[in-house]
Amino acid sequence: MMAIEIRKATFNDIEEIYNLVRELAIYEDGEHMMSATLEDYQTDFLDEQWDSTVAIDSGCIIGMTIYFNTYSTWKGRMFWLEDFIVTEEYRRSGVGQRLWDAIIKEAKERNCVMMKWQVLDWNKPALHFYEKNQAIIEKDWWNGKIIF
């Protein structure tokens, strides 16, 4: 294992990022709900709809985050963490913590006052990680959505 590099993603990383998201969808039993294509990812990345930080080992992406800015009418600028994944063989190695620290830094550099995300209630390893990092896991708000 070489030294793991944490950096902002580039356009050339998108296919690997897309494949990691598919892995996450499979893990969360939601692959059948994934309709965004690789081309959607590429177009939307170029349109600055989302950004990513990646962890690289030996030239391969072994972890990544996808995020974007949003707004809280109560608090102001907000950072939304859409996806956060570390490949199984790198979990509990410190890679996730390094990615987490990098996105916290990114959110603060964007002058965001908070970061929000979703986590499945059965994903105990993720819940433990977030709680270890002093996250507040809200259980009183329900998510709503409309799919177009």
Q: What is the pLDDT of residues 47-88, one digit of tens each?
A: 999 999 999 999 999 999 999 999 999 999 999 999 999 999
Q: Which of 86, 81, 83 is nearest to 63 (CA)?
A: 86
Residue 50 belongs to domain with CATH number: 3.40.630.30
The residue among 51, 115, 113, 48 whose CA lies nearest residue 77 is 113
For residue 88, the enclosing domain spans: 5-132
Q: Within the chain, where are the H helices? A: 14-27, 38-46, 95-109, 124-132
65/99 Cα distance (integer angstroms): 7
The structural domain count of the chain equals 1
Instruction: Flag whether pLDDT at 146 surpasses 90.
Output: no
Tallying the residues shown for the chain, one arrives at 148
Could you give the C-alpha distances from 3 to 14, 20, 53, in angstroms and in order?
Answer: 22, 21, 16
In a domain, 140, yes or no: no
Asked whether residue 43 carries a pLDDT value surpassing 60, the answer given is yes
145 occurs within a structural domain: no
**Full-model pTM:** 0.91
Asked if the structure places residue 63 within a domain, the reply is yes
Find out whether 142 and 107 touch, Cβ atoms under 8 Å: no
Q: Report yes or no: 65 and 81 within 8 Å, Cβ to Cβ.
A: yes
